[in-house]
Amino acid sequence: MNLNTFFEHLDEVDDLTFVLPNGTHVPPHFHLTEVALVTKKYVDCGGTQREEQVISFQLWSADDYDHRLAPCRAYGIVERAQEALGFSNLEVEVEYQSDTIGRYGLDFFQGRFLLTAKQTDCLAKDKCGIPGAEPTQVEIAGPSTSCCSPDSGCC
């Protein structure tokens, strides 16, 4: 979900409800503790340089059980961050604490925000020999010896 869609859905609800992929709800007394512009620069396994930007919301549950974040208050928090950080209509992801900090995508269904599972992927399947990827010609050097062969000296 991108930021504009998030704002549109905030206008549709009276209460903020976030649901984890396993169906449990983020406790209703959560806080929106961070709104971040996250830039990731990296090189994939095929050697291609890439850059991604997302908006990250961090949800945190404390022991103040009477706390409830109203949709209009969440809108204001995100809007202030947008002004300060200068981000546009980027994709939104959500950080939430479970066994470790989980990163989730965001969707909306029947008045609830759904935290969706994110998956890793190989971005250079064609260069890694992954089945179903475009075939590439690979130059094969002469026969190689294993570093763990009996004559290699490593054992």
Report the predicted TM-score, pTM, of the whole model to 2 decimal places: 0.80
| Assigned domain for 146 exists | no
Query: In the prediction, which pLDDT does 129 show?
Result: 78
In a domain, 153, yes or no: no
Which domain, by its residues, includes 107?
A: 3-128
Residue 155 in any domain: the answer is: no
**What is the side-by-side order of every strand in the sheet holding 101-109?**
18-19, 112-117, 101-109, 92-97, 49-61, 30-43
- Please indicate, yes or no, if residue 137 is contained in any of the structural domains: no
Confidence of residue 54 (pLDDT cuts 50, 70, 90): very high
Does the pLDDT at position 55 exceed 70?
yes
Q: Total domain count for the chain?
A: 1
* Residue 33 falls inside a structural domain: yes
Phi–psi pair at 82, nearest 5 degrees: -60, -45
Examine the pLDDT at 12 and tell me if it is beyond 90. Answer: yes
Q: Is the pLDDT of residue 154 over 50?
A: no
Domain membership of residue 145 (yes or no) is no
- The neighbouring-strand residues paired with 36 are 56
Assigned domain for 135 exists: no
Average pLDDT over every residue of 129-153 = 52
Rounded to the nearest integer, the mean pLDDT of the chain is 88
Residues 61-86 have pLDDT tens digits of: 988 899 999 999 999 999 999 999 99
For 32-48, the pLDDT digits (tens) are: 999 999 999 999 999 99
pLDDT score at 74? 98
Residue in the structure block whose two tokens are 């890694």:
128
DSSP secondary structure, 67-87, as one string: ----HHHHHHHHHHHHHHH--
